[in-house]
Amino acid sequence: MTQWQPTVKKLGHDLAPPLQDERERVRKGRALFREGRYDEAHTEFEALRVSNPRSANAQLGIGAVLWRQDRLEEALACFTEARNLDPLLPQAYVFEGQVLVKLGQFDRAIMAFQNALNLDPKSVRAMIGLGQALLRQQRDDEALTQLQAALRYDPRKVQPRLLIANLYREHGQPEAALAELRLALECEPGHVRVAISLARLQVAKGERDAAEQTLRGVMARWPEDEDRSAAAQLGRAALELELYPFAETALREALRRDPDRTSTRLRLVEALLANGRLEDAEHYAQELPQNSQIAPLVHKLLGDIHYQRQQFQSAVEQYRATVLHLPDHEQLLSDLESELAASDNAWEELAEGFQPVIANRIADEADRFRQNRRNRPRRA
């Protein structure tokens, strides 16, 4: 009788790749993602998906790249597929919830975060996400409970402190908000959003020197490879808070790191003008591109420069050019021309009268432009 021998059959190519291969692809894709090489990361995760269509990690990686590219609906589909492939993967529910918050689907987001917490009751990201979704539904007490729970598990987490501080501020508790922001800045001394929020509260309390020191302290901690938008954010905030000397410093640094950014150059002109550095302001203003989108603001700034120099006729001429570049300018232009005709060359009086009118109209146009940008449809 022949003895039975076991037979070893070679696995077909249609089965999943070895676990070690999948882990290596995931590790490589995540490393590329952290470096901001999103197309390459997408390629790596897509290759994993092709080799193993049931890989939840591949769907999470592809979804993360799509999310970073603002392709939210596609990202959501990937995260939903990931949790369908692995219903016990808390991270898939967290990512799904975060995208749903961005899409304004708060009930579904809350359900996703609760599912994540059912699987992992210690998930700090799920607690923070749930807190954010509850805040958007004005369920402030429930949100505060979740955010404070997140801090119990990770006291050095900055995001929940920012959200709690904002909640305290909205409820008229500025001192509690300040305390949270100071703790957040201790945890992460170079955090730009925390510093700006803290500076705003300090200015509101009349502590302008402290506010400027807060912003300068963050900037002093930056490495040379810091995100180039950070200086522009600080400069914009300082300009808004009328901390003009620091606004100039931050915007000069932002322009050094990104010389082609027109919005930074415009704000630098405003800061220089506020600091009385008229020659520098005129130099940067004249270097601005001449296009229809920014022409009204450029002419307005040049008008303000002439006004501060008491060159009132030149100021009025620049204000008139500002009006001509504004949409729906007929009534304002008619008013200006009528004033000119009746003024008997009283240029100072004309410039003084039109400066605030022009400033308000420019502010209205800036608000309209920002609103239009917010309302633009998202990329497919």
Residue 16 confidence (pLDDT) above 60: no
Mean pLDDT of 271-293: 89
Mean pLDDT (the chain) is 86
Q: Helices (DSSP H) in the chain: which residue ranges?
A: 19-34, 38-51, 56-68, 72-85, 90-102, 106-119, 124-136, 140-153, 158-170, 174-187, 192-204, 208-220, 229-240, 244-257, 262-274, 278-286, 295-308, 312-324, 330-343, 347-375
Residue 218 confidence (pLDDT) above 80: yes
Provide the pLDDT for residue 34. Answer: 87
Interaxial angle between packed helices 244-257 and 229-240, expressed in degrees from 0 to 180 and rounded to the nearest 10: 160
How far separated are the first and last CA of the chain, in Å rounded? Answer: 69
For the four alpha carbons of 293, 296, 299 and 304, in that order, the dihedral sign comes to negative
* Residue predicted with more confidence, 354 or 337: 354
Burial class (CB in 10 A: 0-12, 13-18, 19+), 94: buried
Residue 376 confidence (pLDDT) above 90: no
Q: What is the pLDDT of residues 126-180, one digit of tens each?
A: 999 999 999 999 999 999 999 999 999 999 999 999 999 999 999 999 999 999 9
HEC profile for 231-293?
HHHHHHHHHHCCCHHHHHHHHHHHHHHCCCCHHHHHHHHHHHHHCCCHHHHHHHHHCCCCCCC
Q: Which amino acid, one-letter code, is at 226?
A: E
Give the CA diameter of the chain.
126
| Cβ neighbours of 79 (radius 10 Å) | 28
| Cβ neighbours of 1 (radius 10 Å) | 3
Q: What is the pLDDT of residues 352-365, one digit of tens each?
A: 776 777 777 767 66
Residues 6+ apart with CB under 8 A from 146: 127, 128, 130, 131, 134
Global pTM value: 0.80
Residue 102 confidence (pLDDT) above 80: yes
Provide the pLDDT for residue 341. Answer: 56
